[in-house]
Structure 1
């Protein structure tokens, strides 16, 4: 059970996530955050010394949640290393969609905020890259020269696909399953990992858990 202090802190975090994703970090004031969280600025300062401290706390939370989530999904039972790679990829983009506002901050609002926030972002990103490098290396037919660079491009592609879809006009954006399919098919072929299109679509339908 959450304490009242934890509930208040979470109200501040939720308000900040919403405002940062809509207005950006620099255009959001502490008063904006306090007003949205229905508290005084003085109450805000009981929990955080500044916006910098707040954004750092948000990134700590993202790092812990995403890292734990991906580790759990990697440990699930799959029929092959290829299926595991596709499944974890689908789980990653699904997690982005489950947390749209937080994902927009993580993927588009990080650079330039401050050094500590950037470090937290790179810690989170590096963890994902290491996870996917391990998945790719377990596939015998995978062809690459630099596994770290390859995994970096792969993880970036998942983030870009999710972000572009989330930020697109809902009336014109394509079907999300198709976006994931095209992104994965391109990168799997670049790695010479052969998964028939019908099987790839089957995996995507099975493992993409959120579409809106």
Structure 2
């Protein structure tokens, strides 16, 4: 069995991210990833069972890093609404600073691969997120609906604002950000 090299793994992930954001999920093949990463196609199979396995593991890695970045500065002692605004500001800043990661995650979320994430990854990915919303529900600050619905009404307006910003249709002003944060809050608060 061949020994795994962290540098090769990083190169595979970087090449995959670059190809998916420039060519799309379906146009990104193992051979193209290998060529971009300067390795043989067979080397990819030392690290991953399939292209699908590679894409899922990259998605999980990127989502974990994003989640950590977004939730890191939120303190348990902070007032929930203030933490909510910090969370969304962190989310916006993360996306602006990492547009390729955002594009990859958006493509993945809207593909059949999203439903193939193993449950153990899913639980790990959303632990911080779900416990944050659960805290708001326990404090009777959030509507008594599923965390999934709270999430949709939190992030969808922000994602749409960012997409229109990336397309040049709208400026990402403090006023626009504050408005979308307030609308997201109004949508989920009791």
Please name the residue that 1:22 is paired with: 22
Distance 1:117 1:69 in 2: 22
Distance 1:128 1:135 in 2: 11
The range that moved more, 174-183 or 125-134, is: 125-134
Aligned mate of 1:175, from 155, 162, 172: 172
In structure 2, runs of 5+ residues without a counterpart are none
TM, length-normalised to structure 2: 0.76
TM-score norm. by structure 1 comes to 0.69
- 1:48-127 alignment, distance < 5 Å: 48-75=48-75, 78=78, 80-110=79-109, 111-113=111-113, 115-117=115-117, 123=123, 126-127=126-127
Shift of 1:59: 2.1
Relative to structure 1, is the Cα distance of residues 92 and 104 closer, same or farther in structure 2, using a 3 angstrom cutoff? same
* Aligned positions, number: 186
- Aligned CA distance change for structure 1 residues 64 and 190 (closer, same or farther; 3 Å): closer
RMSD (CA atoms): 3.3
Distance apart, 1:5 and its partner CA: 0.7
Name the stretch that deviates more: 87-96 or 181-190.
Answer: 181-190
The answer on whether the counterparts of 2:92 and 2:162 sit within 8 Å (CA) in structure 1 is: yes
What per-residue deviation string (whole Å, max 9, x for no partner) do you get for residues 134-192 of structure 1?
4644776x4634263234321333333334433x14xx441253442221122233456
Residues in 2 aligned to 1:162 and 1:83: alpha-carbon distance in whole angstroms: 21
2:183 to 157, 182, 186: 186
For residues 38 and 64 of structure 1, what CA distance do their matches in structure 2 show? 26
Whether the 8 Å contact between 1:130 and 1:151 is mirrored in structure 2 is no
Q: Which runs of 4+ in 1 moved over 4 A?
A: 118-129
Question: For residues 63 and 109 of structure 1, do their structure 2 counterparts lie closer, same or farther at Cα, with a shift above 3 Å needed?
Answer: closer
Contact 1:93–1:158 (8 Å) recurs in 2: yes
* Per-residue deviation, residues 58-79 of structure 1 (Å, max 9, x unmatched): 122124323433442222764x
